[in-house]
Structure 1
Amino acid sequence: MNNKIKSYLQENREAHLHELFDLLAIPSISALPDHKEDVSKAANWVAESLKKIGMENVTIHPTKGHPVVYGDWLHAEGKPTVLIYGHYDVQPVDPLHLWDSPPFAPEIRDEKLYARGASDDKGQTFMHIKALEAILQSEETLPLNFKFCIEGEEEVGSPNLPAFVEENKELLAADVIVISDTSMMERGKPTICYGVRGLAGLQIDVKGSNSDLHSGLYGGGVHNPINALVELLASFHNENGEVTVEGFYDQVLPLTDEEKQAYQDLHFDEEQQRKELGVPALYGEKGYSYLERTWVRPTLDINGIYGGFQGDGIKTVIPAEAHAKITCRLVPNQDPEIIVDQLKAHIEKNKPKGVDISIALFDKGAPYVTPFDHPAIQAAGRAYEAVYQVPTSYTRGGGSLPIISTLDQVLHAPIVLMGFGLPTENFHAPNEHFHLENFDKGMETLCTYWFELEKSL
């Protein structure tokens, strides 16, 4: 990135922030039907913004839910194409009384921009638009070809985007996909997330008698569904924290030596993490570090369990039914479909006598990883380091981004997760904010990256 581009960003900083204020002021809450028009308004805002910077073929594509905004610039003959993905919808703002300023009235305090969507993901998506504007205004051309796919349903699980991607895979075809919807490890520590875990889950419903029973009259004569459920749930792990479902680990790919070294180089403080979480001890699969357990090892967790009397005091009943919700975080090369079949087989094998068990499936998402040494990943690392002047950290994410697996499976392009948020910025919570330090350095990093990527591919 040359000084001309950097000067353009600095000279137009206030104008860019005021434009971002306009986008953040739109309450585009995709989960609430009352805000359908606001979501549509945000889609139109993004489309107009793409047109203003010089993107072509800008189109608002309707779906069964909220629309997808597309735009492109394809005049870098013979050069690779980048697809930039982001989202313009936001989370609900409840509880409203915990906000220090109105969530849709953007406000800067202590060099932090407060508003719903400031970090997740309007602010980061906006940075991509303005970074390309800066290059076009300074150079009158771009080093690569670019496409945008900005959706309005990410915060409700992107239910309609997989079909859109499948139906428009030629339109969206690219050599690299770049997403800025993740976080750096901490302030001043740029981070590339090169993989995320997948997801598979189900609900277990245990049915006993045809109604609740008096525990004095029937206790000891029929199986208690809660007891049966606890017995079944206990069968999922052994004393070493390992999942005991047959075949669960069969397809797990081991870490490379380079990845292990990269994690050691982070010098993660497990004791500090324990203190921050307020737990007496960290826990997990024996033989692995905390980072390995939360990033690159699969898990099985009970997310909810309920049944019987829930009020104050005691009610001496044997409940007629009990329920549990289970999710598994999956890692490459695990297949969610296979994992679900293995869970079903385990439940059937360990089903307690005297009760009936039924299963309801949740949504599934495949894990994803871009090879650690891929040129697009390494170019991103160099771009971060050039701007932040510190080494880039390479991590995997413990959470799941189902749309990533869709983009991978349909478009077959490497995905680079270049986040500029911070874990402390309250996305999904009251007082969401975005550090303007990363707003500034983030756009410089993106501009630098496009030129690094041009040299690397």
Structure 2
Amino acid sequence: AQDWPQFLGPNRNSTSPQKGILRSWPETGPEILWTANIGPGYGGPVIKDGKIWARGANDDKGQSFTHFKSVEAFYKATGTLPLNIKFVIEGEEEIGSSNLTKFLSDKKDLLKCDAILISDTNMFQPGVPTITYGLRGLLYMEVEITGPNRDLHSGSFGGAVANPINELAKIISKLHDKNGMVTIPNFYKHVMKLSKKERENFKRLKHSDKNFAKELDVKELQGEKGFSTLERIWVRPTLDCNGIFGGFTEKGAKTVLPSKATAKISMRLVPNQDPQKIAKDFEKHIRALAPKSVKVDVRNLHYGYPVVAPLDGDAIKAASVAASKAFGKKTVFTREGGSIPVVVDFMKKLKAPAVLMGLGLDSDNIHSPNEHFRLENFEKGIISSAYFLDEFSKT
């Protein structure tokens, strides 16, 4: 889609000096198997145990829908809206939102605004209103290793020809050192250091490594040495192998020496890291690690820049007050390890601050079977959004 349906709310002809953009997307990834006897996933939502169970229930249909419902409720109650509202809806985030940047450039006059409100992030803990002010960037690469020109019999050729799976596994094993640091040259050269104030704020959030590990059913946590868990997942860059395949993967046994092996590798990046520069450094590093007995192909699938927003703007202050009123608790400010590449595009193209008012939880199984969204968060999200309209209109 090269153009999107745009909906200007019932106040489209208002002369209100303030405008807000409420922007989210129905984001769902590739087809996911529904594993519990709860509902059809795609076919329609099921409400059970105080949660909505459905594909994209949290990410991002449920969170997006709170803003539509808040506008509806506000308009029904008052007959008007306190400011101008524009919705931008797109569904290509999982494939890089390749058309959105052009759309924002082409329609920047139509989309002119004072704030951008996005709900696509998580709450720090259940019941704790949370504003996310920082996101890591993303670089997604694919590495293909080719050996012989066809699949071979391992009995006839094993020991004489390089096995692409073996060589790819060796390369992946060398992408981190013993301290958990990424070995790509210059990977950390421009990484922004965490301020003393932010580090103290992270400590006040009272994160529990023990509970974190228990929830994930792992015996211990692991990562770059010298940093806390919150620092490692929020403000430090990482590299992970997301998938590896090649050779015979079906049931049973087949003694194949494969022709090809492929790995999908993503990097989460932090402020001052340039994904395009790191993509080039990554390719050079992979080629340097590969033996001459194989051919290497490295592809940049997509990327997005990291972002950190200031905490002293009118929009983020209004969102903080709104969330506190809705949940009855003090709002906390967090950074998040995930990426929303288009946030940077929105801010740059429209020259407006973005506010990330998240309503999801780590336990909601986004991008996984049995995704769900708490009804409590859905309802309080509607209230938060309505309070935001009121609070921001006063600035």
* Equivalent pair of 1:93/1:430 in contact (CA under 8 Å): no
* Equivalent pair of 1:99/1:430 in contact (CA under 8 Å): no
Deviation >6 Å, runs of 4+: none
Corresponding position of 1:319: 258
Deviations 1:261-301 (A, max 9, x none): 22111111112212222223211111111111111111111
How far residue 374 of structure 1 moved from its aligned partner, in angstroms, is: 3.4
Separation (CA, whole Å) in 1 of partners of 2:239 and 2:383: 40
- Computed over aligned residues only, the root mean square deviation of the Cα atoms, in angstroms, reads 2.8
Deviations 1:204-251 (A, max 9, x none): 222223334455555444433333323322332110000111111122
Paired residues in the alignment total: 393
The 5-angstrom pairing of residues 229-308 of structure 1 reads 229-308=168-247
The code of the aligned residue for 2:258 comes to: P
* Equivalent pair of 1:91/1:116 in contact (CA under 8 Å): no
Separation (CA, whole Å) in 1 of partners of 2:44 and 2:17: 41
Give 3-state SS (helix, strand or coil) of 1:300's partner: strand
1:89 to 1:217, Cα distance in 2 relative to 1, 3 A: closer
Corresponding position of 2:297: 358
1:163 to 1:312, Cα distance in 2 relative to 1, 3 A: same
Unpaired segments of 5 or more residues in structure 2?
A: none
Separation (CA, whole Å) in 2 of partners of 1:321 and 1:102: 37
Separation (CA, whole Å) in 2 of partners of 1:358 and 1:431: 36
Greater relative CO (CA pairs within 8 A, separation 6+) = 2
How far residue 381 of structure 1 moved from its aligned partner, in angstroms, is: 1.7
* Equivalent pair of 1:297/1:330 in contact (CA under 8 Å): yes
Separation (CA, whole Å) in 2 of partners of 1:169 and 1:379: 24
1:87 to 1:323, Cα distance in 2 relative to 1, 3 A: closer
1:127 to 1:207, Cα distance in 2 relative to 1, 3 A: closer
2:33 is matched with which residue: 95, 114, 126? 95
The code of the aligned residue for 1:69 comes to: Q
* Equivalent pair of 2:117/2:356 in contact (CA under 8 Å): yes
The 5-angstrom pairing of residues 30-179 of structure 1 reads 63-64=1-2, 67-72=4-9, 73=11, 77=15, 79-88=17-26, 95=33, 98-103=36-41, 104-154=43-93, 157-179=96-118
1:257 to 1:382, Cα distance in 2 relative to 1, 3 A: farther
* Equivalent pair of 1:176/1:416 in contact (CA under 8 Å): yes
1:425 is matched with which residue: 354, 364, 378? 364
1:335 is matched with which residue: 271, 274, 279? 274
How far residue 307 of structure 1 moved from its aligned partner, in angstroms, is: 3.0
The code of the aligned residue for 1:202 comes to: M
Separation (CA, whole Å) in 2 of partners of 1:218 and 1:123: 54
Corresponding position of 1:345: 284
Separation (CA, whole Å) in 2 of partners of 1:427 and 1:92: 12
1:382 to 1:166, Cα distance in 2 relative to 1, 3 A: same
TM-score scaled by length of structure 1:
0.77
Separation (CA, whole Å) in 1 of partners of 2:20 and 2:129: 21
Separation (CA, whole Å) in 2 of partners of 1:381 and 1:275: 31
Give 3-state SS (helix, strand or coil) of 2:363's partner: coil
* Equivalent pair of 1:198/1:401 in contact (CA under 8 Å): yes
How far residue 178 of structure 1 moved from its aligned partner, in angstroms, is: 0.2
* Equivalent pair of 1:381/1:392 in contact (CA under 8 Å): yes
Q: Percent identity?
A: 44
The 5-angstrom pairing of residues 9-28 of structure 1 reads none
Deviations 1:309-348 (A, max 9, x none): 4456665554333222211111112111111011112123
TM-score scaled by length of structure 2:
0.88
2:315 is matched with which residue: 376, 380, 393? 376
Separation (CA, whole Å) in 2 of partners of 1:343 and 1:123: 37
The structure that has the greater radius of gyration is: 1
The code of the aligned residue for 2:20 comes to: V
1:350 to 1:91, Cα distance in 2 relative to 1, 3 A: closer
Unpaired segments of 5 or more residues in structure 1?
A: 1-62
How far residue 190 of structure 1 moved from its aligned partner, in angstroms, is: 1.2
